[in-house]
Amino acid sequence: MLSYDLVFVPHPAWTGAMLGLSGGFPRQVPSDAVAAALGHLLPGDLVEKALLLAVFAVAAAGAARAVPGDRLAPKLAAAAFYCWNPFVAERLLLGQWALLLGYAGLPWVLTARTPAGLARALLPAAVGGFAAWNVSALVVLGRFTARPRRIAASLAVLLGLALPWLVPALLAAGGGRTDPAGVDLFAPRADTPFGTVGSLLSLGGLWNAEAVPPGFGSWPIAAGRLLLSLAAIAAFAVTLRRTRDPLLAALAWSAGAGFAVACLASLGPGRALVRGLVGFWPGFGVLRDAHTFVAPLALLQALGVAFLVTLAVQRALGALGAVLVAAPVVLLPTLAGQLRAVDFPADWTRAQQMINADPAAGYALALPWGGYRNYAWNHGRTVLDPLPRMLARRTVWNDGLRVGDRALAVEDPLARDADALLRAPGPLTGPLAAAGYRYVVLAKVGDPGEAALRARLAGARTVLDGRDLTVLRLDGREPAPAPPGVPVLPVTTGDILALCLVLWSYGTYATTLVGTPRTSR
């Protein structure tokens, strides 16, 4: 399956970009490295399926475990709701498996009782990287309202597991940048008839209109979803007021804060404020895709549905309980069948083998100059260019995202140079060779400008010309200059420290997967 950011390739290559050494913002760190490591043990498609399955298994088990009591029906309801809701559907269609790993870990983070348990609960978020860590941090901060003790230890765990992406992000801050225009492009949008706030309350509201499950915006489905969400929030509030459970209070704080951030980014003045913050310091880019912060609200609603089912069972309304358990699937039936498996064309794997077998140094340039492609062999579904994950050498691609007719600034320093070369008229072969490029890989996506682009590469040697791909080699190039990037030592030190933290957490409680059962409050 290849869909937007969901990119798993056969025989993934080890690259510095997977560890954040290439200089751009390390959004794919360390999730790509983990996927590549697993890809050396199992075929890429199996790794993908296992990770997606892990998202659902960890999320369902965590949501069920977070429901107090031993009754099965409320636990089933919470698990079904937490696994099958618009947030999961839209992020899954957008291919953001790394974020969903963090989402799956949220109930475990909420209920972890010790710093070591918290470290284990944060493992999915640590694997997921930047976005997964952000939503998990919101829940960790909420926990401080419930368990004010061990704040320093919890913060140390949180920061320690962020080191793999935090260190390269800080070291790349001079060369990296975040385009403030992204705040407008990635702000939540209304995907139901109830406006942006109503969509966010229903756990929809993703910025991308193409990643909305079919039928989700129709009146009956959207109204049913919103009613279920409001009923769940009401049940959660009543239970919180009745029990004064500190963990529920912590979750209410996290969900409220996350919802407020998402609403802030969707309203005009709030969006202007976020844009100003991102322009002031790129670190505020964390607020760019504010829809991610709705994740704790999904957990709150899942527990709310469980409380509704408990109430129904207590009042001998078993049928109502069964309806509530099935409601998430009934109200979002069209997610199934949206993702289909595809095989990589032979041209791609041949190009991969050929280029990776070449011992000569030099970069590879991915053309046409657009990061996301609609390949015919992928049924026309948009996907991020798989090439950088297939080639062992530094592969330069256009990371300036395009949404609709607007494009964000290119972030990677090498890509910025390539962007300038491509925008200038005239032949490309000489300038690219002088800049240290060894290969140009030209994917055939039906772009009318492909022939003109090929003409600008006259003189380059064609080493593969298939139906889906052309590979050109730039012989006689200059020695590749040292690529801009970040120092290896601090980055690997951060990786080792995070790994030690994970090993310590499992060494402390070797017999449990994540935390101890929630037996009392």
Partner 1 sequence: MRILIAVLLGVLIAGASSFAVVNAANSTPDPQVKPLYHYGTR
Instruction: State the residues that interact with partner 1 by CB under 8 A.
Output: 4, 94, 185, 189, 207-211, 368-374, 380, 382, 398, 401-405, 445-447
Q: Which is nearer to partner 1, 4 or 236 (CB)?
A: 4
CB 149, min distance to partner 1, A:
43
Look up tokens 């702000």; give the residue: 187
CB 37, min distance to partner 1, A:
27
What is the number of H-type helices and E-type strands within the chain? 22, 9
CB 348, min distance to partner 1, A:
18
Side chain identity at 246, as an amino acid letter?
A: P
Residues 6+ apart with CB under 8 A from 38: 47, 50, 51
Q: Which is nearer to partner 1, 100 or 327 (CB)?
A: 100
CB 208, min distance to partner 1, A:
3
- State how far the Cα of 283 lies from the Cα of 266, in Å rounded to an integer: 19
CB 172, min distance to partner 1, A:
21
CB 403, min distance to partner 1, A:
6
Give 446-490 as a DSSP string: --TTHHHHHHHTTTSEEEEE-SSEEEEE-TTPPPPPPPP---HHH
CA distances (Å), origin 133, targets 128, 262, 286, 350: 7, 17, 10, 37
Name which of 295, 256, 258, 251 is nearest 101 in CA terms. Answer: 295
Helix (H) or strand (E) holding 394: none
CB 353, min distance to partner 1, A:
26
- State how far the Cα of 408 lies from the Cα of 256, in Å rounded to an integer: 30
Q: Are strands 437-443 and 461-465 parallel, antiparallel or unpaired?
A: unpaired
Helix (H) or strand (E) holding 81: helix 72-83
Q: Which is nearer to partner 1, 205 or 494 (CB)?
A: 205
CB 20, min distance to partner 1, A:
21
CB 351, min distance to partner 1, A:
20
Q: Which is nearer to partner 1, 4 or 293 (CB)?
A: 4
CB 337, min distance to partner 1, A:
20
Q: Are 99 and 133 in contact (CB under 8 A)?
A: no
Task: State the SS3 of 300-365.
Answer: HHHHHHHHHHHHHHHCCCHHHHHHHHHHHHHCCHHHCCCCCCCCCCHHHHHHHHHHHCCCCCCEEE
CB 91, min distance to partner 1, A:
13
CB 259, min distance to partner 1, A:
21
Q: Which is nearer to partner 1, 151 or 445 (CB)?
A: 445
Strand partners for 441:
366, 471
- State how far the Cα of 504 lies from the Cα of 201, in Å rounded to an integer: 39
Q: Which is nearer to partner 1, 32 or 495 (CB)?
A: 32
Q: Which is nearer to partner 1, 210 or 478 (CB)?
A: 210
Q: Which is nearer to partner 1, 208 or 429 (CB)?
A: 208
Q: Which is nearer to partner 1, 184 or 245 (CB)?
A: 184
Look up tokens 């037996």; give the residue: 519
Q: Are strands 363-367 and 383-384 parallel, antiparallel or unpaired?
A: unpaired
CB 374, min distance to partner 1, A:
6
Q: Which is nearer to partner 1, 259 or 369 (CB)?
A: 369
CB 184, min distance to partner 1, A:
9
Residues 6+ apart with CB under 8 A from 70: none
Q: Which is nearer to partner 1, 120 or 189 (CB)?
A: 189
Q: Are 66 and 303 in contact (CB under 8 A)?
A: yes
The crossing angle, in degrees rounded to 10, of helices 318-330 and 219-243 is 130
- State how far the Cα of 361 lies from the Cα of 25, in Å rounded to an integer: 24
Q: Which is nearer to partner 1, 202 or 266 (CB)?
A: 266
Residues 6+ apart with CB under 8 A from 105: 58, 62, 121, 122, 123, 124, 125, 132, 136, 514
Q: Which is nearer to partner 1, 189 or 477 (CB)?
A: 189
Residues 6+ apart with CB under 8 A from 220: none
Q: Which is nearer to partner 1, 137 or 443 (CB)?
A: 443
